[in-house]
Chain A
Amino acid sequence: MIRRVFKKSALITCIAAISMFAFANPAFAVDLTVYTAVEAEDLKRYAETFNKEHPDINIKWVRDSTGIVTAKLLAEKNNPQADVIWGIAATSLLIMKAEGMFVPYKPKGIEMLDPKFYDSDATPSWVGMDAWVAAVCFNTVEAAKYNLPSPKTWWDLTKPVYKGHVIMPNPNSSGTGFLDVSSWLQMFGETGGWAYMDALHENIARYTHSGSKPCKLSASGEIPIGVSFAFRGARSKDAGAPIDIIIPREGIGWDLEASAIIAGTDKLEAAKTLMDWSISKTAMEMYNTAYAVVAYKGIAKPVRHFPPETLSRLIDNDFDFAANNRKRILAEWQKRYDSKSDPK
């Protein structure tokens, strides 16, 4: 009896001591280096919400656009600096998975997610958070100036009236650009897709390096129509830009923002904690304030400025097709549209 009491009290003292250390001394917290492509304006909010439940894990963000983060991760392949990836395009993650850069891990509560949102392996290498969807930003003020009707479909954009009034990202430097191209190839078929892009190319003012720029250019009236993504459009509209967000009738391409644990991390436990939390209901509700489509089944609420038809128009995206044909598609695209030094 005495021994048991002693044991118990020793245990309590131990726990108390440890927790005192853990809470009283923030230097004791684990620093987790997290690479991300989540919008800069959201990062602080994400970390704060996470720290409410896990104050002992300190997130060190490394944020950049998808292309740069992917390049960075691949460059550091033999000497990884990151512990976790949180919010990078699934198409990028597939490239890294093919390099064997992840520790497969099945986060707690994964059964609550829609299966098309995570890696199909028995122990998934990556798990999705939310989807970002392609969309067309349409500046109504400038359109009125040039007498441009509002486009309803992707093929509408190839009409001669839009010549020089459409801008889209270059798939060779932008993930959004690649998402558009791969979705057209999947929707219209190989021949139809290229025929569509041939026709669209006639109307394109120029190709930008980044995926959000077309929508911002549309918002500022520089080019009336920007092929970009819906999230960016909603944000610009919030900021007071006179734009409409158009979801073309044929369907829209989409990609996941997903998370994974980097192989070689020495903070596996903390990494797993973050992975578990990243698909929790709280986290999903947090993503839902900006993204209309989230991985968690049945909780998505409509997001301001997102057209209601967004969900129903998502195409049946084949990520393996996109990843395995990426190089071929990009080379073909470059041959067709990039070798012209002048867009006219």
Chain B
Amino acid sequence: MTAEITATASVPDIRPKTSKDDRTMIGFMLVIGLYLIVALALPLYAMLSKSFSTYSFELGNFEFAVDKGEGWSEPVTALALNQDLQVVKPEELATSSDGRLAATVFFSDFSFRSPTKYRLRQIRLESSFLVGSKRIADTEWHEFESNQFRRIVLRPSSATGLENFRTYFSTPALFRSIENSLFIAFLSTMITVSLAFGFAYALNRSKMRFKGVFRLIAMAPILVPSLLPGIALVYLFGNQGMIKGLLFGESIYGPIGIVIGSVFFTFPHALIIITTALAISDSRLYEAAISLRASRWRTFWTVTIPGARYGLISAAFVVFNLVITDFGLPKVIGGQYNMLAVDIYKQVIGQQNFEMGAVVSVVLLIPALFAFSIDRYVQKRQVAVLSSRSVPFEAKPHKRFDLICLSYCLLVGIFIVGIIGVCQYAALIKFWPYQLSLSLVNYNFDVMDGGGWASYTNSIQLGIYTAIAGTIIVFSGAYVVEKTNGFFATRSAFQFLAMMPMAIPGLVLGLAYIFFFNDPANPLNGLYATMGILVVCTVTHFYTVSHLTAVTALKQMDREFEAVASSLKQPFYRLVSRVTVPVCMPAILDISIYLFVNAMTTVSAVIFLYAPDTALAAIAVLNMDDAGDVAPAAAMGMMIFYTNVTARLIHLFVSRKLLQKTQAWRLR
């Protein structure tokens, strides 16, 4: 090994000449790289700098003069007054953009009935003061009667610093959320991964019946917004719930509700990963275990679990990430239980404190980035386990075991179908729980908050645009990364950018987009409040998984194709259109349906970005629930579900047709 390295080091490098094709492709890569920089890196930078933008009262900037009937006193700054009186403590000077400080605090003898007159000015044009609500921002002297003077408040100046983070960590209500979020994410992860493992085990290792049906049911939660289980849980376990007795007096609003809902919506994600991990285990190991007379139990712990461990770890981190960054569910059912993602929303929407919203976003990035990097590390190791001589495991019928598996899957299946069924039922009830007659009144979205039926068509539009634009961008990006020669540094930089979106919570991305795109100095400002920005945001938010799918498909194609094509003097685009795209068709279709479904259900990434003309169905669900129109929210959620089911069916049909046409070579 070392000998080889020294040998190559002494020989001059033979570098292939870059062809015209290579240069075109590197141009392509730069374009898509630029897209990722504009759609991801720059907004995040804008958000980061927002979290460091602070507001504080510059007492030295305000000057007072007093007339107690004996003429005007010498001007004196608020800073000097405060040094004598010590009324405003240094930590009280830090504030938010809407901070106000009454001017009267600097005059201990102030009485609004006294004949004293006051003058006030600011020295530099960096802040302002208010008389009542009237803003004065010049540097002139202004004179006030004492009765008017009591209505004066000073406004803060802006600066840069760590003040916001200091405020964050000294507000227990805020930093308590870190603990809450970690706890919920940890607990949900444990439960989901165990449940999904059992389900995957039953699907892969038993001969039970109805496997296909269970596989379909288990995937259903992917097709609904994450807040829909929250609504179903209210109907099931709320104070008027159908089966609230099962909770023994505990409240569903809070950790219990968040955990149950999180398990529901993360289940399919965990299942996909674990199924893959279980599917690749080697049958020879089991044969060895049997010939060594190991018990089933022992085989399970020494063969099955170690074989699937990377899948389990990977699933755990994916679930952890999904739960900690999700925002819809805790908002619907979280009650008083504060979570990081909801805090961002509360800060920005409830208090218009964008700076603090940015701070919470930065805090939320840390666990997400941490989980993400561990996951990447683990996934790299997973590849090494596979050996080319492995023999796929084939289950043998075993009556009792199959029955246990079947009943277990049935239980999980009932849970999933139950949640979705309850939502559909709730949507059709006229006025729960007083008028139980069936009616379509809850589908009259146009008289409710959230954007009406238009939001539904908008969502479908967004889904289609995202699917088309996203598939093109992602596939071209993956192609140039995978098939370009040389340019190693550029390619790894691109690869890094493409992996990043996975670690960015949608809410953080959305907030970053406001800061970046709504800046009038930004040439892309025109995108703000259009469908375009929603498409860009959604494509970016779901970039990583699509990118990985495309790369995996492209990896299956031998690089010889490129070599042959170039020796036949065929330009790369002909190769792409005649060979690569047709061969990768299944993956391309998978990417587009993945993007479509996610565009239909996403809430967090677009909640800050939608405009009146571009209200979305998933956001309508959130807003209707927020306004207390819970049944219409459930109705809209189910519309999303049916749309996604239809899209899946169309996808199935189209892929079958297309595959017959393009994949005939696979059948030989």
A and B: interacting chains: yes
Q: Mark B427-454, 1 if CB is under 8 A from A, else 0.
A: 0000111110000000000011110100
Inter-chain contact A98/B611, CB cutoff 8 Å: no
Q: A209 CA to B95 CA in the complex, in Å? A: 24
| Interface status of A52 (Cβ within 8 A of chain B) | no
Q: A221 CA to B433 CA in the complex, in Å? A: 8
Inter-chain contact B627/A210, CB cutoff 8 Å: yes
Inter-chain contact A213/B627, CB cutoff 8 Å: yes
| Interface status of A330 (Cβ within 8 A of chain B) | yes
Closest to B354 in A: A75
| Interface status of A150 (Cβ within 8 A of chain B) | no
Given contacts A221-B240, A222-B238, A338-B173, contact A68 B349 (CB under 8 A): yes
Q: A63 CA to B130 CA in the complex, in Å? A: 29
Inter-chain contact B239/A223, CB cutoff 8 Å: yes
Query: Which chain A residues lie closer than 8 Å to B96 at the CB level?
Result: 327
Inter-chain contact B627/A97, CB cutoff 8 Å: no
Q: Which of A65, A76, A209 has the most CB of B within 10 A?
A: A209
Q: For the complex formed, measure the closest distance between the CB of A28 and the CB atoms of chain B, giving whole angstroms.
A: 21
Inter-chain contact B349/A71, CB cutoff 8 Å: yes
| Interface status of A152 (Cβ within 8 A of chain B) | no
Query: Which chain B residues lie closer than 8 Å to A170 at the CB level?
Result: 346, 350
Inter-chain contact A220/B630, CB cutoff 8 Å: yes
Closest to A60 in B: B612
Inter-chain contact A98/B135, CB cutoff 8 Å: yes
**A198-230, CB < 8 A from B:** 206-207, 209-210, 212-217, 219-223
Q: A119 CA to B135 CA in the complex, in Å? A: 13
Q: Mark A316-336, 1 if CB is under 8 A from B, else 0.
A: 000110011111001000110
Inter-chain contact B525/A79, CB cutoff 8 Å: yes
| Interface status of B520 (Cβ within 8 A of chain A) | yes
Inter-chain contact B133/A334, CB cutoff 8 Å: no
Q: A206 CA to B239 CA in the complex, in Å? A: 13
Q: A324 CA to B630 CA in the complex, in Å? A: 35
Query: Which chain A residues lie closer than 8 Å to B626 at the CB level?
Result: 65, 209-210, 213
| Interface status of B176 (Cβ within 8 A of chain A) | yes
| Interface status of B335 (Cβ within 8 A of chain A) | yes
Inter-chain contact A63/B100, CB cutoff 8 Å: no
Contact of B135 among A64, A99, A213 (CB under 8 A): A99
Q: Which of B134, B135, B238, B336 has the most CB of A within 10 A?
A: B336
Query: Which chain A residues lie closer than 8 Å to B450 at the CB level?
Result: 40
Q: What are 12 A-B interface contacts by the 8 Å CB criterion?
A: A40-B452, A41-B447, A65-B449, A75-B354, A94-B133, A98-B155, A209-B346, A213-B627, A213-B628, A220-B630, A323-B133, A326-B98
Closest to A119 in B: B133
Q: A100 CA to B135 CA in the complex, in Å? A: 6
Q: For the complex formed, measure the closest distance between the CB of A333 and the CB atoms of chain B, giving whole angstroms.
A: 10
Contact of A320 among B133, B172, B449 (CB under 8 A): B133
Inter-chain contact A71/B352, CB cutoff 8 Å: yes
Inter-chain contact A342/B254, CB cutoff 8 Å: yes
Contact of B239 among A215, A222, A319 (CB under 8 A): A222
Closest to B624 in A: A40
Q: A220 CA to B452 CA in the complex, in Å? A: 22
**B144-158, CB < 8 A from A:** 151, 153, 155
Inter-chain contact B100/A324, CB cutoff 8 Å: yes
| Interface status of B102 (Cβ within 8 A of chain A) | yes
Given contacts A62-B611, A220-B630, A324-B153, contact A339 B172 (CB under 8 A): yes
Contact of A342 among B173, B336, B354, B514 (CB under 8 A): B336
| Interface status of A70 (Cβ within 8 A of chain B) | yes
Inter-chain contact B335/A320, CB cutoff 8 Å: no
Query: Which chain A residues lie closer than 8 Å to B286 at the CB level?
Result: none
Inter-chain contact B331/A209, CB cutoff 8 Å: yes
Q: A174 CA to B346 CA in the complex, in Å? A: 9
Query: Which chain A residues lie closer than 8 Å to B611 at the CB level?
Result: 62
| Interface status of B529 (Cβ within 8 A of chain A) | yes
Q: Which of A71, A95, A320, A334 has the most CB of B within 10 A?
A: A71
Contact of B352 among A63, A95, A213, A343 (CB under 8 A): A95
Q: A157 CA to B398 CA in the complex, in Å? A: 63
| Interface status of B137 (Cβ within 8 A of chain A) | yes
Inter-chain contact B153/A41, CB cutoff 8 Å: no
Inter-chain contact A222/B240, CB cutoff 8 Å: yes
| Interface status of A240 (Cβ within 8 A of chain B) | yes
Query: Which chain B residues lie closer than 8 Å to A330 at the CB level?
Result: 351
Q: For the complex formed, measure the closest distance between the CB of B250 and the CB atoms of chain A, giving whole angstroms.
A: 10
Q: A327 CA to B155 CA in the complex, in Å? A: 12
Closest to A80 in B: B520
Inter-chain contact A327/B627, CB cutoff 8 Å: no
Q: For the complex formed, measure the closest distance between the CB of A100 and the CB atoms of chain B, giving whole angstroms.
A: 5
| Interface status of B188 (Cβ within 8 A of chain A) | no
Q: Mark B244-288, 1 if CB is under 8 A from A, else 0.
A: 000000000110000000000000000000000000000000000
| Interface status of B304 (Cβ within 8 A of chain A) | no
| Interface status of A120 (Cβ within 8 A of chain B) | yes
Q: For the complex formed, measure the closest distance between the CB of B519 and the CB atoms of chain A, giving whole angstroms.
A: 7
Q: A193 CA to B447 CA in the complex, in Å? A: 37
| Interface status of B99 (Cβ within 8 A of chain A) | yes
| Interface status of B123 (Cβ within 8 A of chain A) | no
Closest to B629 in A: A216
Query: Which chain A residues lie closer than 8 Å to B529 at the CB level?
Result: 81
Q: A75 CA to B514 CA in the complex, in Å? A: 8
Given contacts A75-B518, A327-B99, contact A207 B336 (CB under 8 A): yes
Q: A170 CA to B343 CA in the complex, in Å? A: 13
Query: Which chain A residues lie closer than 8 Å to B630 at the CB level?
Result: 216, 220
Given contacts A95-B98, A240-B435, A334-B171, contact A343 B612 (CB under 8 A): no
With A98-B130, A320-B133 known, 12 other A-B pairs at CB within 8 A are A40-B449, A61-B612, A65-B623, A79-B525, A98-B98, A174-B350, A209-B626, A212-B627, A213-B627, A220-B630, A222-B240, A241-B434
Query: Which chain A residues lie closer than 8 Å to B254 at the CB level?
Result: 342
Query: Which chain A residues lie closer than 8 Å to B431 at the CB level?
Result: 220, 239-241
Q: A173 CA to B345 CA in the complex, in Å? A: 9
Inter-chain contact A240/B434, CB cutoff 8 Å: yes
Closest to B452 in A: A40
